[in-house]
A and B are shown apart, each in its own frame.
Chain A
Amino acid sequence: MRILSADPLADRAFTLELDTAIGQRAAARVRAAGDALGVALADAALPGVQEITRSFTTVTVHYDPLEASQADLLHQAETLLSGIEADAVSPGRLWRFPCCYAAEFALDLDTLSQHLNLSGAEIIAQHAATEFGVYAIGFLPGLPFMGDLPPGLSLPRRSSPRPTVPAGSVAIAGGLCVIYPWDSPGGWHILGRCPVPLFDPARPHPALLQAGDRVRFADVSTDEYARLRTGYEDGSLSAEILLEQEPTA
């Protein structure tokens, strides 16, 4: 795999650019590079490296300048990545998340319907039929940026963001889909709500999802949503049961 550019964040980190546009090709490259670097980090083959993070088209290597030099690490990363190909990556874990598209949760479905020139039912059907790839976790702890939306569902963000988007809101904009793990301000179009806890500090790995995972949504009723939500809150349900498929070896 070719590194398009390598740019320093001073003596703390450096970012490797692997593609120029958000999409599945970039996601595959980021995943292949992130996995390879992550394995090397876990095997202590990259002394001085503290963490590897991924975004849509880049991976960033965080390091301790007292233990390694960026020039050496960059050379190691180039050597490592030159030996791997993006198409060799196996599919990530597949999750099936319940999503309630009822009017009380789908705050922007009417607006979406007008802008996209589709009925609410068609939007929901298309959304629920899409297998999303988790391109990056960020912005908020545990928040997944997922793509790609079907082209017919792509539109810019709301002109004025909401001061508070309820936790669990499933929202779309710019060809991507997110689930807000927390109440937060936000400008994406909300089309449903998902009761799955995406971030739990009590878990060894608090974020449920990781970059490279796949997510499908299943339409559930408001009653089912309420039942699931109660279950997750009182601990009688575990989010792990939503895992439909482990990565193939």
Chain B
Amino acid sequence: MTCHLRVISPGARSLVQDLGFRQARAQGVPAAGVLDRDSLFLVNALLGNPAGTEALELAMTSPILQAEYGSVRIATSGGLRGSILSPDGAERVVPAWTATTLNPGERLRLDAPERGASALLGIGGGLDLAEIMGSRATLTRAALGGVGGRGLAEGDRLYPRRPCVTDVPDLTFHMAPPADAGPLRVVPGPQDDRFTAAAWQTFTTAQFEITPQSDRMGMRLQGPVLEHDPTQGPDIISDGAAPGAIQVPGNGQPIILLADAQTTGGYTKIATVIGADLPRLAARIPGDTLRFTVVSVAQAEAAARSRHALLKQIAGSIGAANPGGIDQTALHSVNLISGVVDMRSADHFPGHLADRD
């Protein structure tokens, strides 16, 4: 046997994700991939993995994993912490944003991701899984990719692709990843001209609440109705969609498309969340409120560049974690998941968010 992680308990929705399927949309396949690309970049930096290496995306509750037949290197993203239990009964804390080594027989017991949102657990060397369309991402509603096209299940064995590490110190960032703040930045369009002036005023000033009918495909919002231009209505000839696109069906309630977004959609899209702000949505849960502010394409592109530069700077601040010191990121309060998250909410298979049926 070679070293691996055995899944003792799978967690509510633990999915292998990377940057998503490539050139897949033309085949009707959503790109999928992680909700939070920034965190994927950072956990891989902590592990010395190539950028874009797959990680486990956890949501609502976390798995319990045990190292077997060797050591496995793991790394936590923000909002994720827990402890490692040794066979001899010793227990050590694993804070957020930490790479550490799980020795044979040790169990990683993670708390639920902060507020029951989503978080990432990176694996040193990535995972030895087949690539489909240039990716190891999981698209559950087509049973595609990852571990058998599904979330982790009890008893699964996860094999790193890289030989197992033995003696590496715990690492963390000495520069804290930035906190989420301010309204979400959006670029108007593709169908911004299909709404009334009042709808635009409302869209850019009102507050919208995330509803429990949200998943990796789309985040449904509730707020004041966004009125379509009555001469044109909410339906369009289906055109290309992308994560971040905010589609508004006939009821005037917006839906932000996320990583598993359908490839094309037949509803007006009032605006699109810029790439640099998409990772922020991964930490949002039902009941949270959102506001939107408008920027230009050029501003969105500049934000993407500055975000990337910042991530590289943070990655450059990696140093030894100090187990005796106080780690600010570990002090974030971790609430157990509350009733606002509807774990039983079915996937929108097969994309009826966009279908007018």
Query: Which residues of A pack against B, CB within 8 Å?
Result: 7-13, 15, 17, 21-22, 50-60, 62, 65-66, 69-71, 136-143, 157-158, 161, 182, 184-187, 199, 201, 205-207, 210-211
Contacts and interface: CB of A to CB of B under 8 A. Distances in A.
Contacts of A157: 356-357
B302 to A, nearest CB: 9
Nearest to B264: A138
Interface residues of B, number: 53
A187 B244 CA distance: 27
A217 B250 CA distance: 36
Given A50-B22, A141-B142, A10 B273 contact: yes
Interface in B254-307: 262-264, 269, 271-276, 297-298, 300-301, 303-305
B297 A70 contact: yes
B205 interface: no
B322 interface: no
Interface stretch (B74-82, B121-129, B183-191, B334-342): B183-191
Interface of B: 22-29, 132-133, 142, 144-145, 186-187, 189-191, 237-245, 262-264, 269, 271-276, 297-298, 300-301, 303-305, 308, 349-352, 354-357
B36 to A, nearest CB: 15
Nearest to B23: A51
26 contacts: A9-B272, A10-B272, A11-B275, A11-B301, A12-B244, A51-B23, A51-B25, A55-B264, A62-B242, A65-B300, A65-B305, A69-B301, A70-B297, A136-B238, A138-B238, A138-B262, A141-B28, A143-B28, A185-B352, A187-B355, A187-B357, A201-B132, A201-B133, A207-B29, A210-B26, A211-B26
A90 to B, nearest CB: 19
B275 to A, nearest CB: 5
Given A51-B25, A199-B28, A210-B26, 8 more contacts: A58-B239, A60-B240, A66-B308, A71-B298, A137-B27, A182-B142, A187-B355, A206-B29
A62 B20 CA distance: 13
Given A50-B22, A139-B355, A185-B352, A9 B237 contact: no
Contacts of B303: 11
B242 to A, nearest CB: 4
Contacts of A139: 28, 262-264, 350-351, 354-355
A230 B273 CA distance: 46
Contacts of B262: 138-139
Contacts of B26: 51-54, 137, 207, 210-211
